[in-house]
């Protein structure tokens, strides 16, 4: 498999298949980040499309000095998510977010039993509802760290904040989410 | 190290992520072991992090990648599997294609017919390059000979036609005066009244042969020759 940097160079030379490969490789990651942040599949699809449109337009300005391509991609996604959050702040009501939270459609392995599937789906719904009640700053920190698997340096690059702030937000986000879930009657095992 | 509940809460994620130094981690563990609230918090947040890590990725909608590609590099036709090998079949049923095929077939038939090729008499040896070149060469020479003959025939016809055309009328100055005419000389009207009408073919034929003769031949000879068919 060709590294992302090589695919980016091929894209800059106008090779369509390289762009298609980049999109196929990173769509799920971007969609998950958008979905976990917004809790809405339609918004996540629109935002994912918007992310790749912006990446496509600004690809010539990408430099390896900005970090690895996935980190840059995550930064662009995060900035668009923040814009989206600000744009929809006045239209959003906390209660309606909870009510509108959809059931997550997850990719399950065939070996999982129906009980496990139902349990996992229910847990996923509860976690998503808990995430929606976190403040955006804490939510994005927890998502990037625990769902996207970024390390502290990458999160620092994406959020453009000092490392101490990153650590603080992740820590406060986790504690806050645990308390929210406890209030919802879900006690993590 | 004097560790307390506030430290535990502030450094909880560092502890869970293994970012504490050994001394800090030891102090954290000692404090949590003796503090019920901190122990509960560690268990609660530790369990949550474990659950978040186990949370599987959501599968994106099937058409999302295609929509993204359409929005960026434009819509593309994508037909997968065996169907893409037969995607051209519907074209065969379009009237434009059928008309094109019929036209090409008719053109080929005309070309084959005019070139003198009889498909029923074709042999395998006729398709050898030597035979094809020889046949083409012969056909070119035949065509040239026919064309040359046609041009020569046309030249003769035009020459005859040009000589058959009547010459310019004599000018009044050069024409003899009426009173100077000999008694034998008559006007064309008088002549037509005196002479019996001759056969149309004879007139034309005589004039034609007369026109073909060189101008050096005397007029009486011309007259004699002209009327010889009689």
Question: Above 50 in pLDDT, residue A103?
Answer: no
Do B19 and B66 lie in a common domain? yes
Do B66 and B99 lie in a common domain? no
pLDDT band at A26 (very low <50, low <70, confident <90, very high): very high
Residue pointed to by tokens 């041009």:
B151
pLDDT band at B80 (very low <50, low <70, confident <90, very high): low
Do B69 and B17 lie in a common domain? yes
Looking at residue A53, its pLDDT comes to 94
Taken in order B108, B109, B114, B117, is the CA torsion positive or negative?
A: positive
pLDDT band at A5 (very low <50, low <70, confident <90, very high): confident
Question: Above 50 in pLDDT, residue B183?
Answer: no
Domain boundary at B13, B42, B76, which? B76
CB contact under 8 A, B44 and A188: yes
Question: Above 70 in pLDDT, residue A79?
Answer: yes
CB pairs under 8 A between A and B: 112
Question: Above 50 in pLDDT, residue A151?
Answer: yes
Looking at residue A186, its pLDDT comes to 74
Which one is predicted more confidently, A98 or B44?
B44
Read off the pLDDT of each residue in B12-31 and give the average, rounded to a whole number: 90
pLDDT band at B201 (very low <50, low <70, confident <90, very high): very low
At A133 the three-state DSSP class reads coil
Structural element, H or E, at residue A47: helix A41-58
Which one is predicted more confidently, A93 or B42?
B42
The phi and psi torsions of B58 (rounded to 5 degrees) equal -80, 135
With beta carbons less than 8 A apart as the criterion, state whether A5 and A64 touch. yes
Do B46 and B98 lie in a common domain? no
- Of A36-50, A122-136, B86-100, B139-153, the one with minimum mean pLDDT is B86-100
Looking at residue A170, its pLDDT comes to 95
Read off the pLDDT of each residue in A115-128 and give the average, rounded to a whole number: 75
The phi and psi torsions of A106 (rounded to 5 degrees) equal -105, 155
Looking at residue B211, its pLDDT comes to 46
Read off the pLDDT of each residue in A93-116 and give the average, rounded to a whole number: 46
Read off the pLDDT of each residue in B206-214 and give the average, rounded to a whole number: 45
Whole-number percent of chain B with pLDDT over 70: 67
Do B11 and B69 lie in a common domain? yes
CA A43 to the chain's CA centroid: 12
pLDDT band at B160 (very low <50, low <70, confident <90, very high): very high
- Of A132-136, B29-33, B79-83, B87-91, the one with minimum mean pLDDT is B79-83
Looking at residue A122, its pLDDT comes to 79
For A127, the closest of B13, B16, B55 (CB atoms) is B55
Q: Which of B52, B40, B54, B53 is nearest to B12 (CA)?
A: B40
Structural domains in chain A, CATH included, are 1-92 (1.10.1740.10), 104-189 (1.10.10.10)
Do B56 and B11 lie in a common domain? yes
CA A186 to the chain's CA centroid: 23
Q: Is residue B32 part of a domain?
A: yes
At A149 the three-state DSSP class reads coil
B139: left (phi over 0), alpha (psi -120 to 50) or beta: alpha
Provide residues of A within 8 Å CB-CB of chain B: 16, 19-20, 23-24, 27-29, 31-32, 35, 41, 45, 48-49, 52-53, 56, 104-108, 120, 123-124, 127, 142, 146-147, 167, 170-171, 174-175, 177-178, 181-182, 187-189
User: Which site among A11, A12, A20, A165 would you substitute to test the B interface, given the most B Cβ atoms closer than 10 Å to its Cβ?
Assistant: A20
Looking at residue B158, its pLDDT comes to 94
With beta carbons less than 8 A apart as the criterion, state whether A147 and B71 touch. no
Which one is predicted more confidently, B82 or B225?
B82
Q: Is residue B140 part of a domain?
A: no
Q: Is residue B45 part of a domain?
A: yes
Count the alpha carbons within 13 Å of A3 in the hemisphere toward its beta carbon: 6
DSSP code of residue A103: P
Q: Is residue B100 part of a domain?
A: yes
Question: Above 50 in pLDDT, residue A86?
Answer: yes
Q: Is residue B185 part of a domain?
A: no
Question: Above 70 in pLDDT, residue B169?
Answer: no
The strand pairing partners of A106, in sequence order, are: B58
Question: Above 50 in pLDDT, residue A95?
Answer: no
Other Cβ atoms closer than 10 A to A34: 28
Do B35 and B72 lie in a common domain? yes
Instruction: Identify the domain containing residue B23 by its residue range.
Output: 1-76
Which one is predicted more confidently, A17 or B206?
A17
SS (H, E, C) chain B: CCCCHHHHHHCHHHHHCCCCCHHHHHHHHHHHHHCHHHHHHHHHHHHHHHHHHHCCCECCCCCHHHHHHHHHHCCCCCCCHHHHHHCCHHHHHCHHHHHHHHHHHHHHHHHHHHCCCCHHHCCHHHHCHHHHHHHHHHHHHHHHHHHHHHHHHHHHHHHHHHHHCCCCCCCCCCCCCHHHCCCCCCCHHHHHHHCCCCCHHHHHHHHHHHHHCCCCCCHHHHHHHHCCCC
Question: Above 80 in pLDDT, residue B194?
Answer: no
Domain boundary at B76, B108, B138, which? B76
> Into how many domains does chain B fold?
2
Whole-number percent of chain B with pLDDT over 90: 28
Looking at residue B103, its pLDDT comes to 95
Which one is predicted more confidently, A52 or B223?
A52
CA dist A74 and B27 (Å) reads 36
Closest chain A residue to the Cα of B42, Cα to Cα: A175
Do B45 and B106 lie in a common domain? no
Looking at residue B156, its pLDDT comes to 94
Question: Above 60 in pLDDT, residue B79?
Answer: no
CA dist B183 and B189 (Å) reads 15
Which one is predicted more confidently, B25 or B179?
B25
CB contact under 8 A, B55 and A45: no
Structure ipTM over 0.85, yes or no: no
Considering chain A, what is the average pLDDT of its residues? 83
Closest chain B residue to the Cα of A165, Cα to Cα: B10
Q: Tens of pLDDT along B100-144?
A: 999 999 999 998 887 777 777 777 777 888 888 988 898 899 999
Domain boundary at B51, B76, B101, which? B76
With beta carbons less than 8 A apart as the criterion, state whether A18 and A3 touch. no
Do B40 and B1 lie in a common domain? yes
Looking at residue A116, its pLDDT comes to 61
CA dist A188 and B184 (Å) reads 148
With beta carbons less than 8 A apart as the criterion, state whether A156 and A163 touch. yes
Closest chain B residue to the Cα of A150, Cα to Cα: B53
Q: Is residue B169 part of a domain?
A: no
Q: How many angstroms separate the CA of residue B90 from the nearest CA in chain A?
A: 28
Do B16 and B54 lie in a common domain? yes
């Amino acid at each position: 498999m060709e590294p992302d940097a090589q695919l980016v160079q091929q894209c800059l030379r106008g090779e369509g298949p390289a762009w298609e490969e980049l999109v196929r490789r990173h769509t799920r990651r971007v969609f998950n980040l958008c979905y976990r942040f917004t809790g809405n599949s339609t918004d996540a699809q629109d935002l994912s499309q918007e992310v790749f449109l912006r990446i496509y337009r600004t690809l010539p300005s990408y430099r390896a000095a900005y970090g690895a391509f996935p980190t840059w991609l995550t930064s662009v996604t995060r900035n668009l998510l923040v814009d989206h959050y600000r744009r929809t702040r006045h239209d959003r009501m906390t209660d309606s977010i909870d009510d509108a939270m959809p059931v997550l459609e997850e990719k399950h392995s065939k070996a999982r039993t129906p009980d496990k599937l139902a349990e996992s789906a229910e847990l996923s719904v509860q976690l998503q509802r808990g995430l929606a009640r976190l403040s955006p700053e804490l939510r994005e920190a927890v998502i990037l760290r625990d769902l996207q698997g970024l390390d502290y340096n990458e999160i620092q690059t994406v959020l453009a904040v000092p490392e101490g702030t990153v650590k603080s937000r992740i820590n406060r986000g986790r504690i806050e989410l645990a308390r929210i879930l406890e209030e919802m009657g879900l006690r993590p095992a | 190290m004097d560790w307390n509940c506030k430290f535990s809460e502030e450094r909880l994620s560092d502890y869970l992520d293994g970012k504490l130094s050994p001394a800090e981690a030891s102090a954290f563990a000692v404090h949590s072991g003796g503090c019920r609230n901190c122990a509960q918090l560690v268990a609660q947040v530790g369990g949550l992090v474990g659950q978040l890590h186990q949370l599987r990725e959501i599968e994106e909608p099937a058409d999302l990648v295609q929509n993204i590609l359409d929005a960026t590099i434009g819509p593309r036709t994508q037909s997968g599997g065996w169907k893409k090998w037969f995607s051209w079949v519907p074209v065969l049923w379009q009237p434009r294609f059928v008309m094109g095929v019929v036209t090409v077939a008719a053109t080929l038939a005309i070309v084959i017919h005019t070139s003198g090729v009889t498909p029923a008499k074709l042999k395998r040896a006729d398709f050898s390059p030597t035979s094809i070149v020889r046949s083409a060469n012969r056909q070119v020479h035949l065509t040239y000979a026919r064309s040359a003959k046609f041009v020569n025939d046309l030249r003769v016809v035009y020459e005859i036609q040009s000589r058959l055309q009547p010459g310019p009328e004599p000018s009044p100055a050069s024409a003899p005066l009426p009173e100077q005419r000999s008694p034998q000389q008559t006007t064309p009207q008088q002549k037509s009244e005196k002479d019996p009408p001759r056969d149309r073919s004879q007139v034309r034929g005589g004039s034609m042969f007369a026109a073909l003769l060189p101008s050096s031949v005397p007029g009486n000879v011309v007259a004699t020759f002209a009327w010889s068919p009689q």
